[in-house]
């Protein structure tokens, strides 16, 4: 497989993981390893109800929706308007007013993906994980330590996230299935 195809494959896997992990995790959990104990039936039921509430509110909020996470057994939803915050609060969730919506985060992810595909292969494949966070309006790149400085320098020049702030963090390695 040539370096461009390898970079594209790594990029595709990264994007799938980023989008899957961004839907409803706490900001602290987004880089954490999975817990070894399984949740109780009550916790699973409560989480399922909160995820259903999130789905319902996401549809109702439309462009006002940014992100959601569960913290302390409570659903938190980042929204971009006071009217969106009122809808979230009325539904029993905790609203956080933010400036970046889900559409802007998605556009920034796509821009970063295009930028990553144009990097030299050693840099493109050194980006192990890309995590959007609507609660902070940021996207975090987790990068292989030997390439950290080079990627940070290029990202500072190129600004691939546009108006969405890009955070560069050291990666502990490529995620592998359990």
Q: Is the dihedral of CA 10, 140, 95, 37 positive or negative?
A: positive
Cα–Cα distance measured from residue 19 to residue 34, given in angstroms and rounded to the nearest whole number: 17
Q: Which two tokens stand for residue 137?
A: 């309006």
- pLDDT tens for 145-157 read 999 999 999 999 9
Mark residue 173 as left, alpha or beta (left: phi above 0; alpha: psi -120 to 50; beta: remaining). Answer: left
- pLDDT tens for 21-35 read 444 443 434 443 334
Q: Which helix H or strand E contains 141, and what residues bound it? A: strand 138-143
Q: Is the pLDDT of residue 5 over 60?
A: no
- Indicate the average pLDDT of the chain: 82
The separation between the first and the last C-alpha atoms of the chain, rounded to the nearest angstrom, is: 26
Ranking 21-25, 30-34, 89-93, 121-125 by mean pLDDT, the lowest is 30-34
Q: Is the pLDDT of residue 38 over 90?
A: no
Q: How far is CA 59 from the centre of its chain?
A: 19
Cα–Cα distance measured from residue 81 to residue 96, given in angstroms and rounded to the nearest whole number: 9
CB 78 within 8 A of CB 36: no
**What percent of the chain has pLDDT above 70?**
75
């Amino acid at each position: 497989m040539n370096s461009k195809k390898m970079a594209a494959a790594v990029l595709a896997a990264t994007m799938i993981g980023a989008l899957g992990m961004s839907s409803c995790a706490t900001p602290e959990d987004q880089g954490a390893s999975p817990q070894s104990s399984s949740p109780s039936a009550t916790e699973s039921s409560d989480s399922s109800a909160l995820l259903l509430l999130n789905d319902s509110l996401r549809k109702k909020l439309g462009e006002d929706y940014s992100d959601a996470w569960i913290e302390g057994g409570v659903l938190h939803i980042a929204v971009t308007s006071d009217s969106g915050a009122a809808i979230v609060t009325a539904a029993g969730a905790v609203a956080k007013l933010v400036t970046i919506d889900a559409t802007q985060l998605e556009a920034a992810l796509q821009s970063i993906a295009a930028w990553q595909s144009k990097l030299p292969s050693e840099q493109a494949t050194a980006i192990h994980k890309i995590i959007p966070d609507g609660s902070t309006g940021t996207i975090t790149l987790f990068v292989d330590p030997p390439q950290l400085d080079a990627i940070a320098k290029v990202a500072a020049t190129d600004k691939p996230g546009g108006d969405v702030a890009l955070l560069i963090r050291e990666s502990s390695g490529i995620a592998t299935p359990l």
